[in-house]
Chain A
Amino acid sequence: MKRHIIEVENLVKRFGDLVAVDDISFNVEEGEIFGFLGPNGAGKTTTINVLCTLFKPTSGRARLAGFDVVRQQNQVRRSIGLVFQDPSLDLRLNALQNLNFHAYVYGVPRAVRKKRIEEVLRMVELWDRRREEVRNFSGGMRRRLEIARGLLHYPKVLFLDEPTLGLDPQTRHHIWDYILHLRKRESITIFLTTHYMDEAGVADRIAIIDYGKIVALDTPDALKRMIGGDIITLKTENAEAAMAEIRHQFGIEAQKDSQGVFFEVPNGEEFIPLLVNNFKTDLHSISMRRPTLDDVFLKLTGREIREEAGGEAAMRRQWAMYQARDHRGRFG
């Protein structure tokens, strides 16, 4: 039995009438990567803000490394590192100065301060840029510096709130490499949130959160097994006829969306020949794919996360924000 490093019981957080976190309970095991997956506004950031002592819970309890997040704030803060969803660096300082500030407020002993700063900067490959003002860093470099900062005081738990939001796919990839690498090297627990379905797959366990409630919590594979097997998609002019025929021949209720008609079968490879041999309705194409977390989310909530649209819009917003901040920063 592994130790629970985060324990959350019946946690509720309200903002006026809005229930941002609606009575959730879960545990995170020491050393695991735990993912919070859900659309924008689901309550992921709010949960982190309660766990990191920035918000007081409306009701319920949460403990981190054995410390109560309301009554033992300082011990909790000492145990965690944070990469916030929104940027939180001092753009007017250089990388070293940002890390030095962090080392002081977290009480990293003088004897190891320099060594640790070098270690984390080398890890995120920013050592060569250490004396450059953060203002001149790209979005990806800033994110890496924030990750380095979050690790500087050797926290037990590292929170990563949408660590790749607003970054281009290549940089996203790069950031995940660090995170997975980190996991191999340190005995650290990682709590991450994302609304990118593909990214959630790196977690050992995932909680799917929607409208402030946890609707499922399991390993990615187990979640995917909630889908009956493989997903078959048919493209056809006559969707209604195809759906009727599938119901009649195989006893399966198919659904339709803009992509075509789709349904789940236990074993796609074996199913396709059966379908091809007997199907009467005209088909343009048949495709099969393994279930993704997208499908799981759709099945659980009846909605899609729409990560592409959301992702790009969010990316543009974030970028615009960086630009605006840089611009104003010059007069700050």
Chain B
Amino acid sequence: MSNLRAIYIIWYRDLLRFWRDKARLFSSFVMPFLFLVIFGTGLSASMLLLGRGTEEAGYNYIQFLFPGIVGMIVLFTAVMWGVSIVWDREFGFLKEILVAPISRAAVAMGKTLGGATIATVQGTVMLVFAPFVGVSLSVSQVLLLIVLMFVFACSITAMGILIASRIKTMEAFQVVMQLLLFPLFFLSPARFPVQNLPSWLGTLVRINPVSYGIDSFRQSILEPTSANFGINLFGHPMSIAEDILLVALFGLVMVLLAVWSFSTQE
């Protein structure tokens, strides 16, 4: 009971801080748009050569890319939420949390839910741009996407928090995150269909848990023909449910590790 209250207030504080930070709030609305413009126009010409499969499926490249950008926004926001823990450590507020009569699990849960909520909000904002790229979304699609993004964001936030729990300085956190983010993003089907990849690259993409999150977004945004460029694992084409189940399993492991990491600190 007291832990539920603690999870709530830790979550609430994260939202409050997000809301207060007008600069970040602003950039969270502008950045997705910029990404879309830059990735969409800059790369579409070259990618069209590779991406014949996408044309056959009845989507142009920018439409294919759209779910990938949504995934990228959620991924970046979620993973970077770990930074709030590094900040709290540096500013001393983490001590206020760590001496409170609540379990470390509650701390990890509250932080995970906070970061995941913010990442989901960011992803949802991104969906506003769907009509501009010629994708129309129904209310039920949007609701499904919110659920998918939230599960995905929880998993990724927990991973960021796990890393932040062990890293003491801002600089080190930034470096580790860059090293981690780039393979997670570039070795995912965010920017290209898996089918056309050399097999070694295809294997790496299939190992990357982020791939399944993005695949689930793409399948729910670009239905119904999207199966043409979805991931298949051992010859089995993944459904939305299977995708998100894998993501959730990964997330469960991350949450458990994060809780463990928080509890074993001195």
Contacts and interface: CB of A to CB of B under 8 A. Distances in A.
A178 interface: no
Identify the interface centre among A56, A77, A107, A329: most chain B CB within 10 Å of its CB. A107
A102 B100 CA distance: 8
B6 A78 contact: no
Interface string B84-96: 0001101111011
Contact of B92 (A54, A56, A84, A332): A84
Interface in A78-111: 78, 80, 82, 84, 86-93, 97, 100-102, 104-107
A332 B95 contact: no
Nearest to B265: A54
B2 interface: yes
B16 interface: yes
A55 interface: yes
B100 A106 contact: yes
26 contacts: A54-B98, A54-B99, A55-B266, A77-B99, A77-B100, A78-B101, A80-B99, A82-B99, A84-B95, A86-B92, A88-B92, A88-B95, A88-B96, A89-B96, A90-B13, A92-B20, A93-B13, A97-B13, A101-B9, A102-B100, A105-B5, A105-B100, A105-B102, A107-B2, A332-B21, A332-B87
A139 B183 CA distance: 44
Interface of B: 2, 5-6, 8-10, 13, 16-17, 20-21, 23, 87-88, 90-93, 95-102, 266
A136 interface: no
A256 B16 CA distance: 61
Interface string A48-86: 000011111000000000000000001101101010101
A101 B92 CA distance: 15
Given A97-B16, A104-B9, A52 B101 contact: no
Contacts of B98: 54
Interface of A: 52-56, 74-75, 77-78, 80, 82, 84, 86-93, 97, 100-102, 104-107, 149, 325, 329, 331-332
Given A107-B2, A325-B91, A102 B99 contact: no
A101 B101 contact: no
A74 B101 contact: yes
A89 B100 contact: no
Nearest to B107: A105
B93 A88 contact: yes
Nearest to A329: B91
Contact of B6 (A86, A105, A325): A105
Contacts of A90: 13, 17, 88, 91, 93, 96
Contacts of A97: 13, 16
Contacts of A52: 99
Nearest to B83: A332
A53 B99 contact: yes
Contacts of B91: 87-88, 90-91, 325, 329
A86 B92 CA distance: 7
Nearest to B23: A331
B94 to A, nearest CB: 8
Q: Considering the complex of A and B, which 5 residue pairs feature the smallest CB-CB distances, nearest first?
A: A104-B9, A88-B92, A77-B101, A105-B100, A107-B2
A84 B91 CA distance: 12
Contacts of A93: 13, 16-17, 20
B83 to A, nearest CB: 9
Contacts of B17: 90, 92-93
A105 B95 contact: no
Q: Which of B8, B17, B93, B99 has its CB near the most chain A CB atoms (within 10 A)?
A: B99
Contacts of B102: 105
Nearest to A103: B9
Contacts of B96: 88-90, 101-102, 149
A274 B140 CA distance: 101
